[in-house]
């Protein structure tokens, strides 16, 4: 159960915080459908899911992730409202944010437990474990790829900025 919680947290972090940044950082829209397709192919292969198992697993997994996404969206909205309301956030408001954060984690744990029972009805424990691990690994690979691409872009931008600055200095 601890592994499922850890995997769930990693997936949530990616989906709710990193995933939305992928498209923005590259100044282009990320093709979510392509991402999902590649993720499903990867998970299906690594977990050894049959077509029938995949047809049952992925809709259920997407449903769980969507519910977690909605919980976190609501949490982010509450934080945004507090920040927009005033410049100085009070200790009481910080306390509310922290309490809401704990509530979200508890609700996610309840969802994980609820869906754990559902997943066990469609996949044997070994395949469920392998599917979760594969999804976690895929997401980590995507994050690493994003960081690498973003780092390369940053270095290119710095090089261009430096060469532009040299040109300005030479003109003076």
Instruction: Please report, rounded to a whole number, the percentage of residues in the chain having pLDDT higher than 70.
Output: 72
Q: Which two tokens stand for residue 43?
A: 């998970």
Residue spans of the domains in the chain: they are 1-7+51-157
For residue 95, name the pLDDT band (cuts at 50, 70, 90): very high
What is the reported pLDDT for 83?
Answer: 85
User: Which residues touch 91 (CB under 8 Å, ≥6 apart)?
Assistant: none
Residue 110 has pLDDT above 70, yes or no: yes
pTM (two decimals):
0.68
DSSP-H helix ranges across 90-124: 91-122
What is the reported pLDDT for 51?
Answer: 96
For residue 3, name the pLDDT band (cuts at 50, 70, 90): low
What is the reported pLDDT for 6?
Answer: 57
């Amino acid at each position: 159960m601890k592994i499922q919680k850890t995997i769930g947290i990693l997936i949530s972090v990616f989906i709710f915080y990193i995933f939305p940044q992928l498209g923005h950082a590259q100044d282009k829209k990320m093709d979510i459908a392509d991402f999902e397709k590649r993720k499903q192919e990867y998970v299906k292969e690594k977990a050894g899911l049959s077509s029938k198992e995949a047809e049952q697993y992925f809709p259920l997994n997407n449903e769980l992730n969507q519910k977690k996404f909605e919980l976190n969206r609501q949490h982010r909205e509450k934080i945004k409202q507090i920040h927009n309301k005033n410049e100085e956030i009070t200790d009481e408001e910080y306390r509310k944010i922290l309490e809401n954060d704990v509530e979200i984690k508890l609700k996610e744990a309840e969802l994980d437990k609820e869906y754990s029972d559902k997943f066990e009805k469609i996949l044997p424990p070994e395949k469920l474990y392998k599917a979760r691990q594969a999804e976690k690994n895929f997401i980590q690979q995507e994050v690493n790829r994003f960081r690498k691409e973003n780092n390369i872009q940053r270095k290119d931008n710095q090089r261009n900025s430096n060469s532009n600055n040299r040109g300005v200095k030479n003109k003076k």
